[in-house]
Amino acid sequence: MKDPERVIKVEKAIQEKYGEEIIQDPKATWNEEKEKEYLKQIKKIAKAQKQKEKIEVEGVLMPKKLFRKESERTCPECKIYSFEMKDNLYMAKFKCCYLCYLKKDFKENKSG
Ligand SMILES: [Zn+2]
């Protein structure tokens, strides 16, 4: 007989992390194989969720949190609202759009 406490603990952990939908009465048919299968499933889900949190920008995967809400996509320098992913990236990193970043970069290089 397997330790039922452990089964419950694993089940609870899975439920807390990923919701109840992937639980299919593990108590009934629980064994090592099943546990491995569950762990595999968890890893799969975790991986899928990680990928969902990334956005592809010019072939590079960027974390979603780098990108602000739609309302924050107006460049504070030139006040232009941008739909472009590239501008969004520059806004997140340099607090201005791509063109303003280029302008700034140009100025800095000229003066410095
Ligand atoms: Zn700008």
Mean pLDDT by 10 residues, the chain (112 residues): 73 71 58 83 80 70 64 80 82 88 84 58
According to the model, what pLDDT value does residue 22 have?
56
According to the model, what pLDDT value does residue 78 have?
92
**Angle at Cα 50 formed by Cα 13 and Cα 91, nearest 5°?**
135
Q: What is the distance in A from the centroid of ligand 1 to the CA of 100? A: 4
According to the model, what pLDDT value does residue 102 have?
92
Q: What is the distance in A from the centroid of ligand 1 to the CA of 106? A: 14
What is the residue type of 99? L
According to the model, what pLDDT value does residue 106 have?
81
42-70 burial, b at 16+ Cβ within 10 Å, e below that, comes to: beeeeeeeeeeeebeeeeeebeeeebeee
According to the model, what pLDDT value does residue 100 have?
92
**Contact status, residue 66 vs residue 58, Cβ threshold 8 Å:** no
According to the model, what pLDDT value does residue 101 have?
93
**Contact status, residue 74 vs residue 80, Cβ threshold 8 Å:** yes
- Ligand 1 being an ion, which residues bring their Cβ within 5 A of it? 75, 77-78, 96-97, 100
